[in-house]
Structure 1
């Protein structure tokens, strides 16, 4: 029984660790932070260069700047007619 409980606990821990690595919180103190799920976007876009400079990926430097984040994220959502475009749909204030 102890082994079963340990296996379940380990499985839950590993699953949450994988989810956490895929989810990025983009801080926006005044408007509320934005939760970004990389895998969801990757599965839909299928092309890394839609956001990243090249296929190797890497950090998107300008994402920390409000206007650049809005141009990249909101602009893509508007162009593709998919995804949120209103402030409160992305920005969530913590309670």
Structure 2
């Protein structure tokens, strides 16, 4: 029974990762932000780093989170990726 539950959990996890959009566009007043999810998956293969416990929509994600630790903070920490407004926001 434990093996069945573990297999089901692994299958759901893999399906969630496989069904994730390759790119997403977030609408913003100062220019839309296009997020390349597939590229991020290759750089940070552990979904939990961004998504927490389970893949899917990031709870509470928005402007404050993107400008804080989540996006900009990670880019600064890794010294990789955009950190200035115009590098993400495109009109």
Q: CA RMSD, aligned part only?
A: 1.1
CA distance in 2, matches of 1:85, 1:25: 17
Gaps of 5+ in 2: 1-20
Gaps of 5+ in 1: 1-20
Aligned length: 70
Q: Which runs of 4+ in 1 moved over 6 A?
A: none
Q: Which has the larger radius of gyration?
A: 1
- The TM-score, its normalising length taken from structure 2, stands at 0.71
The aligned residue for residue 62 of structure 1 is 60
By percentage of residues, which structure has more helix? 1
Q: How far 1:50 sits from its partner (Å)?
A: 1.3
- The TM-score, its normalising length taken from structure 1, stands at 0.68
The aligned residue for residue 23 of structure 1 is 23
- 2:46 matches 1:47: yes
The aligned residue for residue 76 of structure 2 is 78
